[in-house]
Amino acid sequence: MKLSRMNGLRASAIGALVVSGALVLSACGSDNNSGATPNGDKTSAAASNIKCEGAKGQLLAAGSSAQKNAMDLWVKNFQAACDGVEVNYQAIGSGGGITKFNQGQVAFAGSDSALKEEEVAESAKICKTGKGVNLPMVGGPIAIGYKLDGVDNLVLDAPTIAKIFNTDIKKWNDPAIAKLNPGVKLPDSNIQAFHRSDESGTTQNLGKYLSTAAPAEWKHDPKSKSWPAPGGQAANGSSGVATAVKDAEGSIGYFELSYATANKISTVSVNTGAAAPVAATTENASKAIAAAKVKGTGSDMALSLDYATKAEGAYPLVLVTYQIACDKGNKAETLPTLKAFLNYAISEDGQKVLSDAGYAPMPAEIATKVREIVPTLS
Protein backbone atom coordinates (compact mmCIF):
# COMPACT_ATOMS: atom_id res chain seq x y z
CA MET A 1 0.00 0.00 0.00
CA LYS A 2 1.47 3.39 -0.93
CA LEU A 3 1.70 6.04 1.74
CA SER A 4 -0.49 8.41 -0.28
CA ARG A 5 -3.37 6.00 0.15
CA MET A 6 -3.32 6.58 3.89
CA ASN A 7 -5.51 9.70 3.72
CA GLY A 8 -8.88 8.89 5.22
CA LEU A 9 -7.75 5.48 6.50
CA ARG A 10 -9.93 4.32 9.33
CA ALA A 11 -7.94 2.93 12.19
CA SER A 12 -10.49 0.23 12.93
CA ALA A 13 -7.92 -2.44 13.68
CA ILE A 14 -7.43 -1.19 17.20
CA GLY A 15 -10.74 -2.68 18.26
CA ALA A 16 -9.18 -6.10 17.95
CA LEU A 17 -6.44 -5.33 20.40
CA VAL A 18 -6.45 -7.27 23.62
CA VAL A 19 -5.43 -4.67 26.15
CA SER A 20 -4.46 -5.88 29.58
CA GLY A 21 -5.15 -3.98 32.77
CA ALA A 22 -2.53 -1.47 33.76
CA LEU A 23 -0.08 -2.63 36.42
CA VAL A 24 0.37 -0.54 39.52
CA LEU A 25 4.01 0.41 39.13
CA SER A 26 6.20 2.36 41.51
CA ALA A 27 6.86 6.07 41.22
CA CYS A 28 10.36 7.47 41.61
CA GLY A 29 12.18 10.78 41.46
CA SER A 30 11.15 13.85 39.50
CA ASP A 31 9.01 14.20 36.39
CA ASN A 32 11.91 12.86 34.33
CA ASN A 33 11.80 9.61 36.29
CA SER A 34 8.25 9.32 37.55
CA GLY A 35 5.17 7.19 37.24
CA ALA A 36 5.26 3.54 36.18
CA THR A 37 8.66 1.91 36.40
CA PRO A 38 9.71 -0.59 33.68
CA ASN A 39 9.01 -4.22 34.42
CA GLY A 40 12.46 -5.73 34.82
CA ASP A 41 11.14 -9.30 34.60
CA LYS A 42 10.34 -8.76 30.93
CA THR A 43 13.51 -6.90 29.99
CA SER A 44 15.56 -9.89 28.83
CA ALA A 45 12.78 -11.34 26.69
CA ALA A 46 11.78 -7.97 25.26
CA ALA A 47 15.38 -7.02 24.48
CA SER A 48 16.22 -10.28 22.72
CA ASN A 49 14.53 -9.29 19.46
CA ILE A 50 15.81 -5.71 19.29
CA LYS A 51 17.99 -4.90 16.30
CA CYS A 52 20.67 -2.38 17.24
CA GLU A 53 21.65 -1.77 13.59
CA GLY A 54 24.70 0.41 14.20
CA ALA A 55 23.28 2.19 17.25
CA LYS A 56 25.97 3.80 19.37
CA GLY A 57 26.59 6.66 21.75
CA GLN A 58 23.98 8.97 23.25
CA LEU A 59 20.57 9.81 21.79
CA LEU A 60 18.91 12.92 23.21
CA ALA A 61 15.16 13.41 23.11
CA ALA A 62 12.59 15.49 24.99
CA GLY A 63 8.92 16.31 25.15
CA SER A 64 5.65 14.76 26.28
CA SER A 65 5.42 13.68 29.89
CA ALA A 66 2.34 11.70 28.85
CA GLN A 67 4.55 9.06 27.25
CA LYS A 68 7.31 9.11 29.88
CA ASN A 69 6.22 5.83 31.47
CA ALA A 70 6.18 4.15 28.05
CA MET A 71 9.55 5.68 27.24
CA ASP A 72 10.98 4.24 30.46
CA LEU A 73 10.07 0.75 29.28
CA TRP A 74 11.44 1.26 25.78
CA VAL A 75 14.68 2.84 26.96
CA LYS A 76 15.39 0.12 29.50
CA ASN A 77 14.82 -2.67 26.97
CA PHE A 78 16.73 -0.91 24.18
CA GLN A 79 19.75 -0.13 26.34
CA ALA A 80 19.79 -3.72 27.63
CA ALA A 81 20.02 -4.97 24.05
CA CYS A 82 22.43 -2.40 22.61
CA ASP A 83 25.76 -2.11 24.42
CA GLY A 84 27.22 1.36 24.76
CA VAL A 85 23.97 3.12 23.88
CA GLU A 86 22.30 5.70 26.10
CA VAL A 87 18.86 7.17 25.35
CA ASN A 88 18.20 10.27 27.41
CA TYR A 89 14.55 11.41 27.31
CA GLN A 90 13.55 14.55 29.20
CA ALA A 91 9.83 14.75 30.03
CA ILE A 92 9.51 18.54 29.79
CA GLY A 93 6.13 18.73 28.04
CA SER A 94 5.22 18.61 24.35
CA GLY A 95 5.81 22.31 23.77
CA GLY A 96 9.28 22.17 25.30
CA GLY A 97 10.15 19.10 23.26
CA ILE A 98 9.13 20.71 19.97
CA THR A 99 11.13 23.81 20.86
CA LYS A 100 14.24 21.74 21.56
CA PHE A 101 13.72 19.75 18.34
CA ASN A 102 13.35 22.88 16.22
CA GLN A 103 16.48 24.31 17.84
CA GLY A 104 18.44 21.19 16.94
CA GLN A 105 19.06 20.21 20.57
CA VAL A 106 17.45 16.73 20.38
CA ALA A 107 17.25 13.97 17.78
CA PHE A 108 13.50 13.61 18.23
CA ALA A 109 10.66 15.07 20.25
CA GLY A 110 7.63 13.48 21.87
CA SER A 111 4.40 15.42 21.41
CA ASP A 112 0.77 14.72 22.28
CA SER A 113 -0.31 16.86 19.35
CA ALA A 114 0.86 16.99 15.76
CA LEU A 115 3.13 19.78 14.57
CA LYS A 116 1.40 22.99 13.53
CA GLU A 117 2.11 24.38 10.05
CA GLU A 118 4.42 27.03 11.44
CA GLU A 119 6.29 24.40 13.48
CA VAL A 120 6.75 22.27 10.37
CA ALA A 121 8.12 25.32 8.53
CA GLU A 122 10.50 26.02 11.41
CA SER A 123 11.68 22.40 11.46
CA ALA A 124 12.92 22.75 7.88
CA LYS A 125 15.71 24.99 9.17
CA ILE A 126 17.05 22.10 11.26
CA CYS A 127 16.17 19.23 8.94
CA LYS A 128 17.62 21.30 6.02
CA THR A 129 16.82 18.81 3.24
CA GLY A 130 13.54 17.71 4.83
CA LYS A 131 11.03 18.58 7.55
CA GLY A 132 9.64 17.29 10.82
CA VAL A 133 7.08 14.49 10.53
CA ASN A 134 4.62 13.07 13.06
CA LEU A 135 4.97 9.34 13.81
CA PRO A 136 2.22 8.05 16.16
CA MET A 137 3.53 5.44 18.59
CA VAL A 138 1.56 5.72 21.85
CA GLY A 139 -2.17 5.99 22.55
CA GLY A 140 -4.32 6.10 25.65
CA PRO A 141 -6.90 7.88 27.78
CA ILE A 142 -6.51 11.19 29.58
CA ALA A 143 -7.99 10.45 32.98
CA ILE A 144 -9.83 13.00 35.07
CA GLY A 145 -8.53 12.08 38.50
CA TYR A 146 -9.98 13.22 41.81
CA LYS A 147 -9.69 12.80 45.56
CA LEU A 148 -12.99 12.97 47.41
CA ASP A 149 -13.43 11.07 50.66
CA GLY A 150 -16.36 8.65 50.51
CA VAL A 151 -16.93 9.02 46.75
CA ASP A 152 -15.56 5.99 44.95
CA ASN A 153 -17.45 6.43 41.70
CA LEU A 154 -17.95 9.84 40.12
CA VAL A 155 -19.67 10.62 36.83
CA LEU A 156 -19.21 13.89 34.96
CA ASP A 157 -20.05 15.06 31.46
CA ALA A 158 -18.16 17.43 29.17
CA PRO A 159 -20.10 20.60 30.13
CA THR A 160 -19.59 19.91 33.84
CA ILE A 161 -15.88 19.16 33.39
CA ALA A 162 -15.55 22.41 31.43
CA LYS A 163 -17.28 24.41 34.17
CA ILE A 164 -15.12 22.84 36.89
CA PHE A 165 -11.84 23.63 35.14
CA ASN A 166 -13.16 27.07 34.16
CA THR A 167 -13.97 27.65 37.88
CA ASP A 168 -17.66 28.21 37.07
CA ILE A 169 -18.47 25.27 39.37
CA LYS A 170 -16.76 25.71 42.73
CA LYS A 171 -18.48 23.24 45.10
CA TRP A 172 -18.57 19.45 44.99
CA ASN A 173 -22.30 19.39 45.79
CA ASP A 174 -23.13 21.72 42.90
CA PRO A 175 -26.52 20.77 41.36
CA ALA A 176 -24.88 19.93 38.03
CA ILE A 177 -22.61 17.35 39.68
CA ALA A 178 -25.40 16.05 41.92
CA LYS A 179 -27.67 15.49 38.93
CA LEU A 180 -25.07 13.25 37.30
CA ASN A 181 -24.54 11.29 40.53
CA PRO A 182 -27.95 10.45 42.03
CA GLY A 183 -27.74 8.83 45.45
CA VAL A 184 -24.11 9.87 45.98
CA LYS A 185 -23.40 11.94 49.09
CA LEU A 186 -21.38 14.88 47.80
CA PRO A 187 -19.67 17.17 50.34
CA ASP A 188 -20.32 20.88 50.61
CA SER A 189 -16.65 21.63 50.08
CA ASN A 190 -14.56 23.60 47.63
CA ILE A 191 -13.16 22.03 44.47
CA GLN A 192 -9.40 22.35 44.01
CA ALA A 193 -8.79 22.11 40.28
CA PHE A 194 -5.21 21.43 39.16
CA HIS A 195 -3.83 22.02 35.67
CA ARG A 196 -0.46 21.87 33.92
CA SER A 197 1.94 24.79 34.36
CA ASP A 198 4.07 23.81 31.35
CA GLU A 199 3.11 23.76 27.68
CA SER A 200 1.46 20.40 27.19
CA GLY A 201 -0.14 18.32 24.47
CA THR A 202 -2.24 16.78 27.23
CA THR A 203 -3.67 20.23 27.96
CA GLN A 204 -4.24 20.77 24.26
CA ASN A 205 -6.08 17.44 23.86
CA LEU A 206 -8.27 18.25 26.87
CA GLY A 207 -9.04 21.60 25.27
CA LYS A 208 -9.91 19.98 21.94
CA TYR A 209 -12.24 17.57 23.72
CA LEU A 210 -14.01 20.28 25.72
CA SER A 211 -14.26 22.63 22.71
CA THR A 212 -15.84 19.84 20.69
CA ALA A 213 -18.09 18.22 23.33
CA ALA A 214 -18.94 21.36 25.35
CA PRO A 215 -18.51 24.37 23.03
CA ALA A 216 -20.94 26.57 24.99
CA GLU A 217 -19.04 26.06 28.23
CA TRP A 218 -15.45 25.99 26.92
CA LYS A 219 -14.72 28.97 24.69
CA HIS A 220 -10.93 28.91 24.94
CA ASP A 221 -8.51 28.30 22.08
CA PRO A 222 -8.49 24.52 21.53
CA LYS A 223 -5.04 24.71 19.93
CA SER A 224 -3.36 26.13 23.01
CA LYS A 225 -0.74 23.97 24.73
CA SER A 226 -0.73 26.44 27.64
CA TRP A 227 -3.52 26.38 30.21
CA PRO A 228 -6.09 28.94 28.94
CA ALA A 229 -8.68 29.16 31.72
CA PRO A 230 -8.74 31.45 34.76
CA GLY A 231 -8.19 30.25 38.32
CA GLY A 232 -7.19 26.82 39.46
CA GLN A 233 -3.77 25.71 40.66
CA ALA A 234 -0.81 24.77 38.49
CA ALA A 235 1.68 21.91 38.72
CA ASN A 236 4.52 20.88 36.45
CA GLY A 237 4.10 17.83 34.23
CA SER A 238 1.61 15.02 34.45
CA SER A 239 3.41 13.65 37.50
CA GLY A 240 3.15 17.02 39.22
CA VAL A 241 -0.61 17.24 38.66
CA ALA A 242 -1.08 13.61 39.74
CA THR A 243 0.91 14.17 42.94
CA ALA A 244 -1.08 17.32 43.72
CA VAL A 245 -4.39 15.49 43.31
CA LYS A 246 -3.19 12.53 45.35
CA ASP A 247 -2.18 14.79 48.23
CA ALA A 248 -5.12 17.24 48.32
CA GLU A 249 -8.62 16.34 49.54
CA GLY A 250 -11.32 17.77 47.27
CA SER A 251 -8.99 18.01 44.29
CA ILE A 252 -9.39 17.19 40.61
CA GLY A 253 -6.93 17.19 37.71
CA TYR A 254 -6.11 15.60 34.37
CA PHE A 255 -3.27 13.26 33.41
CA GLU A 256 -2.64 10.03 31.56
CA LEU A 257 -4.14 6.85 32.99
CA SER A 258 -0.72 5.46 33.88
CA TYR A 259 -0.24 8.23 36.45
CA ALA A 260 -3.64 7.54 37.99
CA THR A 261 -2.87 3.83 38.16
CA ALA A 262 0.59 4.25 39.65
CA ASN A 263 -0.69 6.72 42.28
CA LYS A 264 -3.94 4.84 43.03
CA ILE A 265 -6.05 7.87 42.11
CA SER A 266 -9.79 7.51 41.47
CA THR A 267 -10.88 8.48 37.97
CA VAL A 268 -14.08 9.98 36.57
CA SER A 269 -16.42 8.07 34.28
CA VAL A 270 -17.69 10.27 31.45
CA ASN A 271 -21.33 10.61 30.45
CA THR A 272 -20.99 10.89 26.67
CA GLY A 273 -24.64 10.44 25.82
CA ALA A 274 -24.18 6.71 25.35
CA ALA A 275 -26.33 4.24 27.29
CA ALA A 276 -23.91 4.17 30.22
CA PRO A 277 -21.06 6.35 31.52
CA VAL A 278 -17.66 5.33 30.17
CA ALA A 279 -14.70 4.62 32.43
CA ALA A 280 -11.16 5.71 31.64
CA THR A 281 -9.57 2.43 30.55
CA THR A 282 -7.14 1.56 27.77
CA GLU A 283 -9.75 -0.68 26.18
CA ASN A 284 -12.38 2.08 26.16
CA ALA A 285 -9.85 4.58 24.82
CA SER A 286 -9.02 2.12 22.03
CA LYS A 287 -12.65 2.18 20.94
CA ALA A 288 -12.49 5.95 20.55
CA ILE A 289 -9.11 5.92 18.79
CA ALA A 290 -10.59 3.39 16.37
CA ALA A 291 -12.44 6.31 14.76
CA ALA A 292 -9.21 8.20 14.02
CA LYS A 293 -8.35 9.22 10.47
CA VAL A 294 -4.92 9.90 9.00
CA LYS A 295 -4.79 13.54 7.93
CA GLY A 296 -1.06 13.67 7.20
CA THR A 297 0.44 13.02 3.78
CA GLY A 298 3.57 11.27 2.61
CA SER A 299 5.73 10.32 5.58
CA ASP A 300 3.60 12.34 7.98
CA MET A 301 1.11 10.28 10.01
CA ALA A 302 -0.79 12.99 11.90
CA LEU A 303 -4.20 11.70 13.03
CA SER A 304 -7.60 13.33 13.45
CA LEU A 305 -9.44 12.11 16.58
CA ASP A 306 -13.21 12.08 17.17
CA TYR A 307 -13.60 13.78 20.55
CA ALA A 308 -17.39 13.89 20.28
CA THR A 309 -17.94 10.15 19.89
CA LYS A 310 -21.03 8.71 21.54
CA ALA A 311 -20.22 5.13 20.62
CA GLU A 312 -21.03 2.65 23.37
CA GLY A 313 -18.02 2.06 25.60
CA ALA A 314 -15.84 4.62 23.79
CA TYR A 315 -13.92 6.91 26.16
CA PRO A 316 -13.68 10.22 24.27
CA LEU A 317 -10.91 12.02 26.16
CA VAL A 318 -7.90 10.43 24.46
CA LEU A 319 -4.55 11.38 23.08
CA VAL A 320 -2.02 9.95 20.68
CA THR A 321 1.63 10.77 21.28
CA TYR A 322 3.89 11.24 18.28
CA GLN A 323 7.63 10.89 17.95
CA ILE A 324 8.68 13.84 15.80
CA ALA A 325 11.80 13.45 13.66
CA CYS A 326 13.19 14.77 10.40
CA ASP A 327 12.12 12.76 7.37
CA LYS A 328 15.40 13.88 5.77
CA GLY A 329 18.39 15.78 7.11
CA ASN A 330 18.87 13.97 10.44
CA LYS A 331 22.36 14.24 11.95
CA ALA A 332 24.57 11.48 10.58
CA GLU A 333 26.11 10.68 13.97
CA THR A 334 22.74 9.93 15.63
CA LEU A 335 20.72 8.64 12.67
CA PRO A 336 21.51 4.89 13.16
CA THR A 337 20.58 5.08 16.85
CA LEU A 338 17.45 7.14 16.11
CA LYS A 339 16.19 4.64 13.55
CA ALA A 340 17.04 1.60 15.67
CA PHE A 341 15.25 3.02 18.72
CA LEU A 342 12.14 4.11 16.80
CA ASN A 343 12.09 0.79 14.95
CA TYR A 344 11.96 -0.97 18.31
CA ALA A 345 9.33 1.38 19.77
CA ILE A 346 6.88 0.74 16.92
CA SER A 347 7.73 -2.96 16.57
CA GLU A 348 5.35 -5.65 17.80
CA ASP A 349 7.55 -6.19 20.87
CA GLY A 350 7.76 -2.48 21.58
CA GLN A 351 4.02 -2.03 21.30
CA LYS A 352 3.24 -5.08 23.45
CA VAL A 353 4.85 -3.57 26.53
CA LEU A 354 2.62 -0.47 26.39
CA SER A 355 -0.42 -2.06 27.98
CA ASP A 356 1.69 -2.93 31.03
CA ALA A 357 2.06 0.80 31.68
CA GLY A 358 -1.57 1.80 31.03
CA TYR A 359 -1.22 2.75 27.36
CA ALA A 360 -2.97 1.51 24.22
CA PRO A 361 -0.78 0.16 21.41
CA MET A 362 -1.22 1.65 17.96
CA PRO A 363 -3.74 -0.17 15.76
CA ALA A 364 -2.20 -2.68 13.38
CA GLU A 365 -2.82 -0.66 10.21
CA ILE A 366 -1.28 2.50 11.64
CA ALA A 367 1.66 0.64 13.18
CA THR A 368 2.37 -1.11 9.88
CA LYS A 369 2.66 2.18 8.02
CA VAL A 370 4.90 3.73 10.69
CA ARG A 371 7.12 0.63 10.50
CA GLU A 372 7.49 1.32 6.78
CA ILE A 373 8.37 4.99 7.35
CA VAL A 374 11.02 4.73 10.08
CA PRO A 375 13.60 2.85 7.96
CA THR A 376 13.31 5.59 5.29
CA LEU A 377 14.41 8.37 7.67
CA SER A 378 17.67 9.80 6.37
Where the chain has pLDDT below 70, the residues are: 1-48
Count of residues making up the chain: 378
Query: At a CB cut-off of 8 Å and minimum separation 6, what does 160 contact?
Result: 169, 176, 177, 180
The reported pLDDT for the residue numbered 31 is 42
The reported pLDDT for the residue numbered 289 is 85
The reported pLDDT for the residue numbered 358 is 81
CA-wise closest residue to 165 among 196, 194, 122, 123: 194
- In our burial notation (b when 16+ CB lie closer than 10 A, e otherwise), range 270-304 reads bbbeeeebbbbbbbbbbbbbbbbebbbeebbbbbe
CA-wise closest residue to 15 among 372, 363, 279, 356: 363
Query: At a CB cut-off of 8 Å and minimum separation 6, what does 324 contact?
Result: 63, 97, 98, 101, 108, 109, 110, 111, 115, 123, 132, 133, 134, 135
Using DSSP's 3-state secondary structure scheme, residue 366 falls into helix
- pTM for the model stands at 0.75
Q: Tell me 5's DSSP state.
A: G
Query: At a CB cut-off of 8 Å and minimum separation 6, what does 323 contact?
Result: 108, 109, 110, 135, 137, 342, 345
CA distance 222 to 228: 9
The reported pLDDT for the residue numbered 9 is 38
Mean pLDDT over each residue of the chain, to the nearest integer: 88
The reported pLDDT for the residue numbered 44 is 47
CA distance 173 to 185: 8
The reported pLDDT for the residue numbered 46 is 52
Query: At a CB cut-off of 8 Å and minimum separation 6, what does 320 contact?
Result: 112, 136, 138, 139, 289, 292, 303, 305
Is 32 exposed, middle or buried (CB count within 10 Å of its CB: 0-12, 13-18, 19+)?
middle
| DSSP secondary structure, 7-54, as one string | TT-B-GGGGG--PPPPP-----SSGGG-SSPP-GGGHHHHHTT---TT
- Cα–Cα distances (Å) from 312 to 22, 33, 272, 274, in that order, read 22, 36, 9, 6
